[in-house]
Structure 1
Amino acid sequence: MTISRTLYNRCKKLIESNQQGLKYDAINAEIQALFGLGHKEVIPRTSRTKQKINFILPADEAKKLQALIKAEIGLDVLTDVYSNGDRVVNAAQHNDEKIGANASQDIILVNNATGQLKLNQEVSTLFPSIHAAGLELRHKMISSIEHDAIIICENFTPMYYLHQLKHNPLFEHALVVYRGDSQQGKRADEVKRFIDRHKSNLPLYYFGDFDPEGFSIAKSFRVDGLILPDISQFSAFTNIDLQKCAGKDKFFPQLSQGMTYLHQSTYPQAWHAHINFMNQHQLGWQQEHLLSANINWQLYK
């Protein structure tokens, strides 16, 4: 038996969950059937909550599952990445093209505000008459980047609105990379591998939502700077204008303790004015809303 990438990732999640339990579904049922581990915990329905079914894996069984996977495919769930080639490679070697293969493995989406990608000592020009989100590339084939910086873009929509920023020198000369889905095993993992490989050669900036999560994501990437609205222009907006371009439920729901504000002390000094402004107004602003408002973007290091 060779377990799939999906099953491997779920086993890893279970082993790391420390008996907290995960929603019982078909994949967890497969784990229980294959390995005879774990059990269902049924939480009865009440007048306020629906019935819940969790899949529980006790600590001793978690170690056993980890050992079983190590013996089965030679990987340690907590340290080793499940990588077994793309689907064409697997089709040539196995009867199942999907065995262990993620279709988006090694793929990232890149773009530039002027529509010119400068990679591997070559210049690739996108359609001048069509505003494109960029090109999907195999990042392991990128040996050199002839841009001045790498910008991580949080959301997908701004990727094909970058042409609006082509006169901003920061975007004009940078390689913009779409962060992708943050779920484990999705495109975000490939972006992280790409960033880890090239961040020592180029400055790394983050272009995301102006909200608590945006600051948190930027911090997690250990960026050299954060691209935010020009605070002198943005702070001059009226309360009505700020409300109009604010995303729905982009402030309090993102804070880990409800009404607790984002603590600026853990973030660079250059970001404090924006954090104070956000906390003061108790609002968060998404990239799409800010782009529609034609605000000026600046780099804060």
Structure 2
Amino acid sequence: MKKALYQFCQSKFKTLSSGRLKLSALLLRLHHEYTFGEIKGDYLYFNEHDRMALIERVRFENGVHLLREPFPELQSRSKIAQHQRNEKVGSYAVSQDFILVNCLKNLRVNHQQTPISPITSLGLYLKADDIISVEHPQIVFVENLEMMANLAQLDIPDNLQSALWVYRGDIKKQQSTTTSYHFFRRFKDTNQLICFSDLDPKGIEIAITSGAHYWLTAEDTSLVDIELHGDEYEWFKQTKTIKYLQVKTDLPEKCQVAFIDMCLNRKTLKQEHMLEHRIKLGLFEL
């Protein structure tokens, strides 16, 4: 989240946990970029879950608590080294400027083609700000790291053979989600954006808040009930997200169907299951 929107949210939601606010440019931006609340007439209505989901999202993106900490004014180590002996003080992780990408064919960015290694790898780390254009027709936002090394084993639609795959990152500082989210959304007007997430409540939330045009998921979402050994734990760890989806009135059709299948079975399916069981994946509009 950018500084202006961060500070706006701090001023509005530090004490107000639910209610309605008169629409403004920043509220519209918050709604569109973070799927925050619902717009009715000239007002944006929100509840406690919307507020908590926003706090969690900002924690993923910026590494701080939205309502308790100031906007993180960190710099790169090279900039700090201009005037400090200790280049690590007040710095962000070196890898924060980079994104992990992979593809099944040649990498095509900035009107150049680069061969991908024939040896199995997670992909290439590239400096996000250096990428001006992406000549792949689709950009796929990937939730779990293992998928990045196994793209060829996924049962994907044929039109994704030429896609660029971007790893979302996680909450660890060295793999921040902030840069990948910003990179992904930057190309919303020039490329087809696709979110590939787990088949679980959190996966639906990631898909609808990612800025993607389509969700890549199992064509048959009833496969959450596929026969597997062991007990199901993930469903019961996602209570907040389940409640959020239960009251959300504008879920895309495929997300509704998937959520119903999860609720009926009280089970989830991870991307690793889709990979190992060769589950057929399809694209569904968000």
Instruction: State whether TM-score is above 0.5.
Output: yes
Q: Summarize the Cα distance change of 1:284–1:263 in structure 2 as closer, same or farther, 3 Å threshold.
A: farther
Secondary structure, counterpart of 1:226 in structure 2 = strand
CA distance in 2 between partners of 1:147 and 1:271 (Å) = 26
Q: Residue 117 of structure 1 aligns with which residue?
A: 107
Q: Tell me which of the two structures has the higher relative contact order, counting C-alpha pairs closer than 8 angstroms and 6 or more residues apart.
A: 2
Amino acid in the other structure paired with 2:153: Q
User: Which letter does structure 1 place at the counterpart of 2:117?
Assistant: F
- In structure 1, the residue matched to 2:135 is 146
Q: Which runs of 5+ in 2 are unaligned?
A: 1-9, 16-68
**Alpha-carbon deviations, 1:76-112, whole Å to 9, x = none?**
x75x55242x323433442112133222231111111
Instruction: Work out whether residues 154 and 278 of structure 2, in 8 Å CA contact, stay in contact via their aligned partners in 1.
Output: no
In the other structure, the counterpart of 2:256 is 272
What's the C-alpha RMSD, in Å, of the aligned pairs? 3.2
Structure 1 position 157, deviation (Å): 0.8
Please say if residues 102 and 165 of structure 2, whose CA atoms lie closer than 8 Å, have aligned partners that are also in contact: yes
Q: Who is 1:174 aligned against?
A: 163
Aligned to 1:216: 205
Report the alpha carbon displacement of residue 295 of structure 1 after superposing the two structures with TM: 0.8
Does the 8 Å CA contact 1:126/1:132 hold for their aligned counterparts?
A: no
Contact 2:201-2:242 within 8 A present in 1 as well: no
Pairwise CA distance, 1:271:
2.6
8 Å contact kept, 1:255–1:261: no
3-state secondary structure, aligned to 2:114: strand
- Where has structure 1 moved over 6 Å in runs of 4 or more? 14-17, 257-261
What TM-score comes out, normalization by structure 2 length?
0.68
How far apart are 1:220 and its partner, in Å? 1.4
Counterpart in 2 of 1:256?
240
Equivalent-residue separation in structure 2 for 1:257 and 1:145 (angstroms): 33
Higher CA-based Rg: 1
1:269-295: CA deviation from partner (whole Å, max 9, x where unpaired): 233222221111111011011111111
5 Å-filtered alignment, 1:185-200, equals 187-200=176-189
Residue 281 of structure 2 corresponds to residue 291 of structure 1: no
Cα distance in 2, alignment partners of residues 81 and 210 from structure 1:
33
| TM-score, with length taken from structure 1 | 0.64
Partner in structure 2 of residue 94 of structure 1: 84
Cα 1:185–1:293, aligned 2, differ >3 Å: closer, same or farther? closer
Q: Which residue matches 1:163?
A: 152
- The number of equivalent residue pairs is 222
Percentage identity across paired residues of the two chains: 27
The answer to whether the 8 A contact 1:115-1:127 is kept is no
Q: Do 2:154 and 2:274's aligned partners in 1 also have CA atoms closer than 8 Å?
A: no
Amino acid across the alignment from 1:110: V
Deviation at 1:247, TM superposition (A): 8.2
Q: Is the 8 A contact 2:196 2:216 kept in 1?
A: yes
Q: 1:171 Cα shift?
A: 2.9
Matched residues in 2 for 1:143 and 1:179: separation?
19
Give the stretch that moved more between structures: 194-203 or 147-156: 194-203
Instruction: Letter of the 1:111 partner, please give it.
Output: N
1:105–1:190 Cα contact (<8 Å) kept: yes
> How much does 1:154 deviate?
0.4
